[in-house]
Chains A and B, each alone.
Chain A
């Protein structure tokens, strides 16, 4: 017996030592290798972000032709120029992943508020039993609350759900076959599976009654994706509940950002019954989380129109710029309750371009063509009659010259372009100089809804421009020049 006790003690001591060695020299590397989402958590802490936006692909998708490819979170940050904001974006992730991302933000981080993407589709069986789940669950193993060495043991011995693609598909199908749909009225299809089969059998038909196979398939996909009823035992509900609890423990403000779905398409392809379910699920979430103390839920479900969805043949939350801005605007309004003094609507006061978040740090302007640093200003108010341009420039020759070009179009599409020379006081060739110029805009632009501004290099020699800021303001007000705070 004594021998056995000694052995148990030795084994325990060895395990403690191994845990120490592993934590000290191996764990961080393994986290980066196998649970790289944790790097996002570290990054927002390193950046001293006060607001953290957590999301999936909806936050980093843009149209291929779009000049402005910023994320929703980037648009949101425009509303709070003095508050440092960061994002933790990971494609195909969901609330369970978000929970671990948030949990691993270091205790001493500057985070005060978290905005968590709430994706309606993620509550459905198609996503709960997605083929990506094996990989997603694997990357959470090292992030569990056990000692690091034990977590690595769990990972080595595959202590996470492993299923083949076929098995996941079967589970999703089984859930669609068995989970009842909750309608307050008589509805002919008790489950999503039956509804899907009926849709496939009867087909989508146009006004003349002709079957359209492509639309039929898409309609079936919409049924599979959205025809479900969220109940208290939905695993995502448990995940979002855990996020609420975590935010309470950490003293963070919490905003759930319920993303817009393509309700126009759902209505066109399937009809009111599917919309009813989507709204019913939305109401469940609004009621559940809206009633919780310290939780704000932003409802974007029906705000984005079909034309602003990038993917027309699949269900996603990937929006064109206008859609992203709508979501951002709504989130910003919710954030305003926590940061009333820092809120500044960029669409009416100030338009900032030139930080090139995620793009190359220095933006070269090629000779004599619009530099591409074009910016579009919507809703230009007639009160704002001066444009202020601040930037750093590095010309490669003393003959370089830069103009500001403003372009607007009238109702017939007729374009008007005016150029404004930007006089340079002193050129330090091949070195960075900060410039700020104020120009009074012509009245033609004040009457326009949409103005495009370009920096144009009219010389043959290249000029590099960075940290470009543009602000509109009444002539009698002093401009705010953010560019001065930066050094290249």
Chain B
């Protein structure tokens, strides 16, 4: 079930209503059942994969707790759990990629063979496996008590608002809240509805409409002039942001309706002044996951520069292939890592002059924001391209097609939607839509709600446009 569907528009109110009607002791069961229905709406059989990882990690948690005095055993259980979860992830996400490349490698050496296997990726696998692993690691580290109630643990992994595209929640936040008794609070309903409205607007109106131009450009980049290709690249930057941010915001709102606070995943990433800052603002739940479970165990920043650079590259390459089993994703992650290192080197060696005036500081910030946005946009070209050939075609068209006559035709409304979104992103830079609304006059608030509803209904694309991050 996707958030922008009529099924979810019926499903969510029913679940919320049942949630408040049922006593606390029955809520976990209702939410778990609802989450199963939500997940099985896509492809029912894939729930078995989820069940396998849930059972393994649940048992691992308990066994680690029981063996807390025996570190070796505890570690063994942790390793078994992580390896089995990663095996599931590898088989369903990366096996096809690996076998395909092995086949090519064999062909290079003159061995004709076909090892390629084609396995369909279960929806949201990367998200819930990472969520599962964070539980196991936290229990191993002693930061989290093992969950003995199988239902609550399953619900922690399967909680429907964030099941398929995150945010990747930590047990310290979500599992704890699942045990808490939630009472009906109008404020939660109001905030939840605001977030859902805003999320639907940026997904259905902004992302999906921009996607139309992006599809046209990426289908045949070489036939368009450079300005059109650049516009397509910029539109994709906003499409992927609005798509993912929209989904995360709806997830936040859906959980908020029942009183659960799940983590913010974005904080105006395109207003970042550096790549490092960008990653503090983009897909925060994944960035912090890699920070806590990969980067810091590798030594973090308290090591020699070369070791630090290595750590950064490892984290970013892993982040790249987390997104998808393709060389383009790996390359994208590597490019981000490399730029991160270059930025640090430049910052360390360059003598920066601190502007004395406010205008001067703003100008420098603006330039840095523009620089970061341009770099991130160029990197998104790698991310969006299906292979290196398309990536090359895009870059060539972007910088050498100035004399081509064909220009992409974009409805003026798309610029209006984009403008509205950019404005909202600037306004909401240090806050969130639901909180921002709090202090505003009633009439203004309701006018904004009405405008959002009207635009969601009237300006959204009618084609079925799947969420981009579903593929990960």
Binding site for B on A (CB under 8 A): 10, 14, 18, 21-22, 26, 30, 34, 138, 149, 152-159, 162
CA distance A162 to B7 in the complex (A): 12
20 chain-A/chain-B pairs, Cβ below 8 angstroms: A14-B450, A18-B453, A18-B454, A22-B454, A22-B457, A30-B458, A149-B457, A152-B457, A154-B6, A155-B462, A156-B204, A156-B456, A156-B457, A156-B458, A156-B460, A157-B5, A157-B6, A157-B9, A158-B6, A162-B464
Given A154-B6, A157-B4, A159-B6, do A34 and B453 touch, yes or no (CB 8 Å)? no
Q: Any chain A CB within 8 A of the CB of B293?
A: no
Closest residue of chain B to A154, judged by CB?
B6
Q: Which residues of A contact B446 (CB under 8 A)?
A: 10, 14
Nearest CB of chain B from residue A412's CB, rounded to whole Å: 57
Check A158–B457 contact: CB distance below 8 A: no
Given A156-B462, A157-B4, A159-B6, do A21 and B454 touch, yes or no (CB 8 Å)? yes
Most chain B beta carbons < 10 A, residue from A22, A149, A152, A156: A156
Q: Which residues of A contact B458 (CB under 8 A)?
A: 22, 26, 30, 149, 152, 156
Q: Which residues of B contact A14 (CB under 8 A)?
A: 446, 450, 453
Q: Which residues of A contact B457 (CB under 8 A)?
A: 18, 22, 149, 152-153, 156
Binding site for A on B (CB under 8 A): 4-6, 9, 204, 446, 450, 453-454, 456-458, 460, 462, 464
Other contacts beyond A34-B462, A157-B9: 20, CB < 8 A = A14-B446, A14-B450, A14-B453, A18-B453, A21-B454, A22-B454, A26-B458, A30-B458, A138-B462, A152-B458, A153-B457, A154-B6, A155-B462, A156-B4, A156-B456, A156-B457, A157-B4, A158-B5, A158-B462, A162-B464
Q: Which residues of B contact A10 (CB under 8 A)?
A: 446
Q: Which residues of B contact A152 (CB under 8 A)?
A: 457-458
Closest residue of chain B to A4, judged by CB?
B186
Closest residue of chain B to A15, judged by CB?
B453
Q: Which residues of B contact A158 (CB under 8 A)?
A: 4-6, 462, 464
Q: Which residues of B contact A138 (CB under 8 A)?
A: 462
Interface of chain A: mostly helix, strand, loop or mixed: helix
CA distance A155 to B458 in the complex (A): 9
CA distance A66 to B446 in the complex (A): 64
Closest residue of chain B to A25, judged by CB?
B458
Report the 5 A-B pairs with minimum CB-CB distance, sorted nearest first. A159-B6, A156-B460, A157-B6, A153-B457, A155-B462
Nearest CB of chain B from residue A25's CB, rounded to whole Å: 10
Closest residue of chain B to A27, judged by CB?
B458
Q: Which residues of B contact A162 (CB under 8 A)?
A: 464
CA distance A20 to B448 in the complex (A): 18
Q: Which residues of A contact B450 (CB under 8 A)?
A: 14, 18
CA distance A52 to B454 in the complex (A): 37
Q: Which residues of A contact B5 (CB under 8 A)?
A: 157-158
Nearest CB of chain A from residue B185's CB, rounded to whole Å: 14
Q: Which residues of A contact B453 (CB under 8 A)?
A: 14, 18
Nearest CB of chain B from residue A278's CB, rounded to whole Å: 36
Nearest CB of chain A from residue B191's CB, rounded to whole Å: 15
CA distance A158 to B204 in the complex (A): 11
CA distance A22 to B454 in the complex (A): 9
CA distance A142 to B462 in the complex (A): 11
Q: Which residues of A contact B462 (CB under 8 A)?
A: 34, 138, 155-156, 158
Most chain A beta carbons < 10 A, residue from B9, B446, B458: B458
Closest residue of chain B to A22, judged by CB?
B458
Nearest CB of chain B from residue A138's CB, rounded to whole Å: 7
CA distance A11 to B71 in the complex (A): 60
Closest residue of chain B to A33, judged by CB?
B462
Closest residue of chain A to B460, judged by CB?
A156
CA distance A149 to B204 in the complex (A): 16
Q: Which residues of B contact A157 (CB under 8 A)?
A: 4-6, 9
CA distance A21 to B456 in the complex (A): 14
Nearest CB of chain B from residue A148's CB, rounded to whole Å: 10
CA distance A22 to B453 in the complex (A): 12
CA distance A247 to B217 in the complex (A): 48
Nearest CB of chain B from residue A470's CB, rounded to whole Å: 47
Q: Which residues of A contact B9 (CB under 8 A)?
A: 157
Q: Which residues of B contact A30 (CB under 8 A)?
A: 458
Nearest CB of chain A from residue B452's CB, rounded to whole Å: 11
CA distance A158 to B454 in the complex (A): 16
Closest residue of chain A to B456, judged by CB?
A156
Closest residue of chain B to A151, judged by CB?
B457
Nearest CB of chain A from residue B197's CB, rounded to whole Å: 12
CA distance A352 to B6 in the complex (A): 53
Q: Which residues of A contact B454 (CB under 8 A)?
A: 18, 21-22
CA distance A388 to B457 in the complex (A): 61
Nearest CB of chain B from residue A135's CB, rounded to whole Å: 10
Nearest CB of chain B from residue A465's CB, rounded to whole Å: 40
Q: Which residues of A contact B6 (CB under 8 A)?
A: 154, 157-159
Nearest CB of chain B from residue A340's CB, rounded to whole Å: 47
Nearest CB of chain A from residue B400's CB, rounded to whole Å: 36
CA distance A156 to B458 in the complex (A): 8
Q: Which residues of B contact A153 (CB under 8 A)?
A: 457
CA distance A82 to B62 in the complex (A): 88
CA distance A162 to B5 in the complex (A): 11
Q: Which residues of A contact B456 (CB under 8 A)?
A: 156
Q: Which residues of B contact A21 (CB under 8 A)?
A: 454
CA distance A58 to B208 in the complex (A): 37
Nearest CB of chain B from residue A29's CB, rounded to whole Å: 10
Q: Which residues of A contact B204 (CB under 8 A)?
A: 156
CA distance A34 to B461 in the complex (A): 10
